[in-house]
């Protein structure tokens, strides 16, 4: 069921208040990707258990798989049933039109990522299209996130190591955060400080000194993408420095698949797979709970 414009605006106002709380209270909110209902159950149960606010986020592929309005309805239904503080983030949306549709559907957080579709998109094109989304979002109050260049990696499990010297070439700078925010009017800047999409055989290393410089350069909200496979102490420090949102995907996908493979192998004669799924989303829930604890958002929900 579609939300009214007054309901959407009330939700986005609460979403803005959440980001304000992250800064005042020194915690980050987790943004957890879903591509099925079981993963949503894992997220909402973790949120309820730890009394934590959460963002459910969906990429372009996940929207195509589940449906833009279906996701809105699912999140609203579970939010009401479990009594949790939960919002939707459109993650790495590659086009302005897709962002506008999500804004119309009442998504509280919108990430416009023009470089997702075109890795070689010019700074001018990225700024122009990001500004268009920022302007459109004013009608509902949705918060808009973006970045000035392509963010590396992919939300999967990788076998190769991380070329840290190559990754450093794409790091954000104090100059870039200030100029991009000034040019676009975004609410949230997706920072690159060593975070990288995907899960790798080696731990990620975040440049916290650079993060502090970014924080000092602009009062905009800061997000960290590619949180999977990152030692938890980096999250604890990032939240204290002033990161408002941290994205998690591959860690959840990995546990989901490995647990599903295990329960299928252990139950070769069970064809009602739904009976096996509580074990699967129970393990995913443990991942979400671990991140919530590291982000410092446990006990921070306002319902």
Catalytic residue ranges? 91
Gap between the Cα atoms of 66 and 108, Å rounded: 18
Give the number of C-alpha atoms closer than 13 A to the C-alpha of residue 212, restricted to the C-beta side: 6
| Beta pairing class for 188-191 and 221-224 | parallel
Do 155 and 138 contact (CB within 8 A), yes or no? no
| Beta pairing class for 109-112 and 153-157 | unpaired
Helix (H, G, I), strand (E, B) or coil at 283: helix
Candidates 207, 102, 104, 199; CA nearest to 160 is 199
Residue 30 burial class via C-beta count within 10 angstroms: exposed 0-12, middle 13-18, buried 19 and up:
buried
Do 91 and 245 contact (CB within 8 A), yes or no? no
Gap between the Cα atoms of 74 and 37, Å rounded: 8
From the CA atom positions of the chain, what is the Rg in Å? 18
Gap between the Cα atoms of 303 and 288, Å rounded: 19
Helix (H, G, I), strand (E, B) or coil at 120: coil
């Amino acid at each position: 069921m579609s939300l009214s414009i007054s309901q959407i605006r009330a939700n986005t106002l609460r979403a803005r208040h959440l980001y304000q709380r992250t800064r005042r209270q020194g915690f980050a909110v987790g943004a957890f990707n879903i591509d099925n209902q079981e993963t949503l159950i894992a997220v909402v149960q973790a949120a309820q258990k730890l009394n934590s606010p959460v963002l459910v986020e969906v990429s372009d592929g996940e929207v195509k798989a589940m449906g833009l309005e279906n996701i809105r309805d699912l999140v609203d239904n579970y939010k009401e049933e479990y009594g949790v503080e939960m919002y939707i983030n459109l993650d790495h949306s590659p086009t302005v039109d897709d962002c506008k549709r999500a804004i119309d559907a009442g998504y509280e957080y919108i990430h416009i990522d023009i470089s997702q579709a075109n890795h070689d998109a010019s700074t001018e094109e990225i700024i122009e299209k990001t500004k268009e989304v920022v302007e459109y979002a004013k009608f509902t109050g949705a918060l808009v996130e973006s970045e000035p260049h392509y963010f590396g990696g992919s939300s999967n499990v990788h076998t190769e190591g991380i070329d840290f010297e190559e990754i450093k070439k794409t790091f954000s700078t104090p100059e870039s955060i200030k100029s991009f925010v000034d040019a676009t009017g975004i609410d949230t800047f997706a920072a690159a400080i060593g975070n990288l999409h995907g899960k790798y055989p080696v731990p990620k290393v975040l440049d916290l000194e650079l993060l502090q410089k970014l924080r000092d350069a602009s009062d905009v909200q800061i997000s960290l993408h590619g949180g999977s496979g990152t030692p938890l102490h980096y999250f604890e420090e990032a939240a204290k420095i002033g990161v408002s949102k941290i994205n998690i995907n591959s860690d959840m996908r990995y546990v989901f698949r490995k647990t599903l493979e295990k329960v299928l192998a252990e139950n070769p004669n069970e064809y009602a797979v739904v009976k096996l799924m509580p074990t699967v989303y129970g393990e995913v829930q443990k991942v979400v709970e671990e991140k919530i604890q590291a982000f410092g958002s446990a006990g921070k929900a306002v319902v």
